[in-house]
Amino acid sequence: MKKIIVPIDFSEHSEYALKTAAKLAKKYDAEVLALHMLEMSDSLLTENENEGEQYRKTVFFLKLAEQKFEAFLEKPYLQDVKLVPIIKHFKVFSEVNDVANKEHADLIVMGSHGTSGFKEFFVGSNTERVVRNADIPVLVVKHELENINFEKVLFATNFDDENIQPYLKASRLFEKLGSKLTLLYVNLPNEHFKSSIEIESKITEFLMTAHGNLDQRDNVAYHADYTVEQGILNYADKIKADLIAIPTHGRKGVTHFFAGSIGEDVANHSELPVITFKI
């Protein structure tokens, strides 16, 4: 882990993310890229300087934001951290991934207060936008984390083939971090129900495809619940997990509205930190 991006909007939740990134950076000798994105219209960018008051207001607010950002980063916990401030004008949070790719970042850390109900469907949150678009893992935190050791990590999967690559990415990451990774399958009632034999068959096929062996079989569990999200959260609580890891399709638009994304839902509603891996 060499580069960590933290989008900053000056909220207490983005400061939780910044503190988490600082702790990770100190522990793994990584660089923190503090990213502030100004959501301003393109028309303000192209305003001619001679056309007046609107241009002067735009320049004023840009300078004000830069000063505020500089003051925000003057924190004791950032001492001895390799910190790179980045300000991107006229972009939105859905484009954090562009910055991550350009900078060859390894991880995005986001603060989130979570949303629910109609607001979640029609407005969403900046964190959701980042999770949907990010090619690299996104760590979502809801509060200040005292412990970033992440000794117990729960990786939720349905053991479909499309989950193999996200699982292998997670497996490599948490092996480096010294974490114990438990794989979880949530068994649902009615038409989604699978027998123990069916589940074990899926697990065997998944592990053989991923590793060529069954060495990780003892690190697999399955749990019955009414929804996948409830099952993940309940089992995480049961084993006292420090972190939930989950693959996400990053669905957008109409597909996201109707099908949703379990990864986004868990990231939205879990009190534990959640890390997502793009399928």
Ordered alpha helix ranges (H), the chain: 12-28, 42-45, 53-72, 96-103, 117-122, 126-133, 164-177, 196-211, 228-238, 253-259, 262-269
Res. 90 pLDDT band, cuts 50 70 90: low
Indicate whether 255 pLDDT > 60.
no
Mean pLDDT in residue range 252-257: 43
Task: Please report which confidence band the pLDDT of residue 230 belongs to, taking 50, 70 and 90 as the band edges.
Answer: very high
User: pLDDT tens digit string along 145-195?
Assistant: 988 999 999 999 999 999 999 999 999 999 988 999 999 999 999 878 999
268 to 141, 229, 249, 253: CA distances (angstroms): 10, 11, 15, 18
Better-predicted residue by pLDDT, 254 or 27: 27
What pLDDT is attached to residue 44? 54
What are the structural domains, with CATH classification, of the chain? 1-144 (3.40.50.620), 149-279 (3.40.50.620)
Q: DSSP for 76-120?
A: GGGTTSEEEEEEEES--GGGHHHHHHHHT-SEEEEE-----HHHH
- Selected residue with higher pLDDT from 128 and 276: 276
